[in-house]
Structure 1
Amino acid sequence: MSSYFCKRSGAIAGMLFSGLLSGVLADVRGRRYTLLFGLVCNAFVGVASALARNATELCLLRFMCGLGLGMVISGVVTLSAEISPPSCRGRFMTLVASCYTLGFLYTAFWALIIFRAGSGSWRLFMFVNAIPTICAAILAVMFVPESPRFFLSRGRLRDSVDVANTIVKRLGGDGNDLLTFEELRRYLFQAKQIGVTSFRAKEVITVNEDNLNSHEYGTLHEEIRMSLSSMSQVFTNRMYRITIPLQLTYACLTLVTGVATWWTKIFQGLELTSDAYSLSFYHTLAQIPGMMLASGLIDIVGRRRLVIIGFGGGTVTLFLFSVFANSVQAFESNTRSAVALGLACCYSICLCVGWLALDCLSTESFPTKVRSTGRGVCVATGRIAGFSIQFLYGPLINENRLGYMLGIACMFAVCGVIISYQTTDTTNVDLQDHWEGGKAVELPCDDANLTDRRYKFL
């Protein structure tokens, strides 16, 4: 138990630090850069974990795995938002984010194959889990572009034009849809005139260069100062009204999700007749209908409503599971597994819907300049809560007090329903480029044709 807890805590701690750092990194160096860095890191860690000599090395590698995973999530969520067509951004983002379900199924499948007999090589398990990450890194290098919005916010007009037109062509656009360098320069100049663009974008206009490649990155001191400034901006100019409710929502949802870390131990503690690893695999399959529900409803029902629905469903499910865990002996041995699996599947569906909707909501809530940073601050808050709650859930699992643990998680879900009402819905709202005077604003443009094409592809 202590070794399992150590490894899980190491990964969560790594994701905690990475939540803040990767958000800033994605806003300073790029979404694609952060994504690739995280994938390469996790590929190395996966292979190295299979060669670990002791528990200390394995815990350290799990910490590094958390760092890499945080970078992957930060890069891919923001990038998918900024290169998706606005009319179906919610569906595209949920489809991309829900692919973690395939990862869970892959892991659960190999756990079932390797450990079902009660023995097996954990080194082999670590190695096979690294294979998808290696494949993803190769595919990202070959096919994933950088965000044109990121390039534009950094004053890299030529790069922004090239990437935007590449995306236009991939989406089936014709020559009339292609952007030109002069159009984006005129668009950016108007933003400079009213002072809503970044100092790097202002500089590219002043020096009349295509890109700021030679000045793109300053000294380490300047980058640290910029990073701290970006992090503080999510609480200034009344942006805290967006940030704080999202932080609290992430905290509540992570506290509820903390139960999922222990599903195999929960099934074992209930003394079910079915194999715990088989039940874990089957309950992971429930994320597929959760993914389909979130993807199909997010642009219709709305982001905030889906978050509330996820919390509400989790509340009911956890309450029923708590009652079941406290009175499990009253059920016949043949029905225990079915009831436990059914409740676990409902819980999984609710969490899937809630997480996908919240990730979409948080990404769309911040302006381009601090989009990854703002989301990173919110995610880091949730991970602090997730890391801390394991020190409560772990002992309860160890003492087999499952009903108490599930009841506590149920109370966190109730709090999540209340707090999520305070968030600002972003359904059918275009991504905002800047924040001025306490509200998000669009970069101005007097060219209607350019504006239409920018909303279509950029």
Structure 2
Amino acid sequence: MSKEQHVDVQAFLNEHPFSRYQWLIFGLCFFIVLLDGFDTAAIGYIAPSLIKEWGVSKLALGPVLSAALFGLAAGAISAGPMADRIGRKRVLVVSVLMFAVASLASAFAGDLSQLTVLRFITGIGLGAAMPNAVTLMSEYCPDQRRAMLTNAMFSGFPMGAAFGGFLAAWIIPQWGWRGVLMLGGVVPLVLVVLLMLFLPESVRYMVARAQPVTRIKAVLGRISSSAANASSFFLTEVKQSVAGQSGIAVVLSRPYRVGSFMLWFAYFMGLVIFYALINWMPILFKDAGIAPKDATMISALFPLGGVGAIFFGWLMDRFNGNRIIAAGYVLTALAIFAIGQVSGNVGLLVLVVFVAGALMNTAQSSMPALAASYYPTQGRATGVAWMLGIGRFGGIAGSFLVAELARRQLSFDVIFAILAIPGLIAAIALTIKQAVHPEKKDVEKTTVKEVLAH
């Protein structure tokens, strides 16, 4: 009779090669985030068509443009605790279905008020999907590659936003703006079917919730056949947690409170910069005397640099994640300040804008992996989701900030000097997080729960 085997789930993931099944999970989560990026950016691409077809002013489009941002915040803040309670997969399937149906319905909107409501509902679905994709992916990664793989998955968001621009340019002349929203609805509906068929629940969540060993064994058996020999599974946590605590209680508990606030603060400040520049950079460049066509082309370089997050992920797996991302934000601040100093030299401006975008998107895209590594399993979905949700208000603040700076008729270089400050604040926040909750590699793990066969 063979000896009973009690298997540490994370050690199992660490010891076996990254399997085809884990790459399937990566691919499904990547496409969730890719579609998230496409749909988030879609409204910007169709805005000129809305103005032309409905005869509305740019000002009247304000509620439509911001509705999805408010929805994203609401979706993330509500779905994180739900995923820690009922599971990552259920919330993912429902949220992708919600943004698919709402996007499809948006294609048939008859006026701005209908479109505003539907964009808010779409935003709720998008906001709920993204953090749970990050959480589920991170929980299937080996420790030594977690940040790199999670960042690589999250890079689907800027890719989706950029890819959406090319698709919109092709679709709108042939089928109009409604075609863009129809595509943004039909493709996620196909993805919902694939998620239901192929996406597993988080194995760490299943162990933490004491789900049947047969179910856990079936999932881990897709990674390595050696799981068949297990008689029970247990979960090790490097992070302090209390059995029975809700996700919200974990995130706001004394051991995590300061770090949670600092993560929210850093992500908020990053999105202040991102949305301020995405929404206002073409206008600021035109006001600085750059030709409108050149201003648009140069501005389009800014969101292209998110793939650098894979390199940051590689660094985070080896060194201190707080310090690496803080350094990224400091370099972002310096590059944004430099934009204000080189407006007279278009060639140099192109280079500085691209570098600033690469640094900004790399630092910002690395934040979800940092949050996922900070919390224990029972609070991870809430922790990631609340950082992303609260951070969305930074996007709203960024747009209003530049509007106010422009109203005060501040000079080009002064505006960019002010926009560099949030990057420094984000770096300070992560430095405080590191000081209060030092991140250490290879710390001793503590077993927090064991699941026996039943």
Alignment partners' CA distance in 2, 1:128 and 1:253: 30
1:442 match: secondary structure: strand
Alignment partners' CA distance in 2, 1:151 and 1:414: 40
Alignment partners' CA distance in 2, 1:99 and 1:19: 18
Question: Aligned AA for 1:44?
Answer: V
Alignment partners' CA distance in 1, 2:285 and 2:220: 47
Summarize the Cα distance change of 1:11–1:405 in structure 2 as closer, same or farther, 3 Å threshold.
Answer: farther
The Cα shift of 1:342 comes to 2.5
The 5-angstrom pairing of residues 2-401 of structure 1 reads: 2-113=59-170, 121-158=176-213, 161-170=214-223, 173-175=224-226, 177-178=227-228, 180=230, 182-184=231-233, 187=234, 198-199=243-244, 230-262=247-279, 263-266=281-284, 269-270=287-288, 271-272=290-291, 274=293, 278-279=297-298, 281-288=300-307, 290-324=308-342, 328=343, 331=344, 336=346, 338-396=347-405
> Normalization by structure 1: what TM-score?
0.74
The Cα shift of 1:68 comes to 1.0
1:374-397 alpha-carbon deviations (Å, 9 max, x no partner)? 223333332233323432234556
Summarize the Cα distance change of 1:114–1:61 in structure 2 as closer, same or farther, 3 Å threshold.
Answer: same
The Cα shift of 1:410 comes to 0.7
Q: What is residue 413 of structure 1 aligned with on the other side?
A: 423
Gapped regions of structure 1 (runs ≥ 5): 200-225, 433-440, 448-458
Q: Give the paired residue count.
A: 388
Alignment partners' CA distance in 2, 1:340 and 1:393: 20
Question: Aligned AA for 1:306?
Answer: I
Alignment partners' CA distance in 2, 1:365 and 1:259: 28
Alignment partners' CA distance in 1, 2:171 and 2:413: 30
Alignment partners' CA distance in 1, 2:216 and 2:296: 45
Alignment partners' CA distance in 2, 1:25 and 1:36: 13
Question: Aligned AA for 2:328?
Answer: G
Aligned 8 A contact 1:32 1:145 in 2? yes
Gapped regions of structure 2 (runs ≥ 5): 1-57
Alignment partners' CA distance in 2, 1:310 and 1:136: 34
Question: Aligned AA for 1:304?
Answer: N
Aligned 8 A contact 1:153 1:197 in 2? no
The 5-angstrom pairing of residues 435-454 of structure 1 reads: 441-443=446-448
The Cα shift of 1:267 comes to 5.1
Alignment partners' CA distance in 2, 1:24 and 1:394: 35
Aligned 8 A contact 2:247 2:379 in 1? yes
Alignment partners' CA distance in 1, 2:127 and 2:217: 26
The Cα shift of 1:430 comes to 7.8
Alignment partners' CA distance in 1, 2:62 and 2:143: 42
> Normalization by structure 2: what TM-score?
0.75
Summarize the Cα distance change of 1:233–1:295 in structure 2 as closer, same or farther, 3 Å threshold.
Answer: closer
Q: What is residue 218 of structure 1 aligned with on the other side?
A: none
Question: Aligned AA for 2:95?
Answer: G
Q: What is residue 211 of structure 1 aligned with on the other side?
A: none
1:286 match: secondary structure: helix
Aligned Cα RMSD in Å? 3.4
Question: Aligned AA for 1:378?
Answer: M
Aligned 8 A contact 2:305 2:359 in 1? no
Question: Aligned AA for 2:204?
Answer: R
Question: Aligned AA for 1:106?
Answer: F
Aligned 8 A contact 1:90 1:298 in 2? yes
Aligned 8 A contact 2:268 2:392 in 1? yes
Question: Aligned AA for 2:324?
Answer: L
The Cα shift of 1:123 comes to 2.0
The Cα shift of 1:416 comes to 1.4
Q: What is residue 222 of structure 1 aligned with on the other side?
A: none
Summarize the Cα distance change of 1:157–1:351 in structure 2 as closer, same or farther, 3 Å threshold.
Answer: farther
1:99-148 alpha-carbon deviations (Å, 9 max, x no partner)? 11320221121344467x9x993222323344543343333223221112
1:408 match: secondary structure: helix
1:24-59 alpha-carbon deviations (Å, 9 max, x no partner)? 111011111111122111111221222111111122
Question: Aligned AA for 1:365?
Answer: Y
Alignment partners' CA distance in 2, 1:361 and 1:354: 10
Task: Quote the sequence identity (%).
Answer: 19
Alignment partners' CA distance in 2, 1:416 and 1:110: 34
Question: Aligned AA for 2:219?
Answer: T
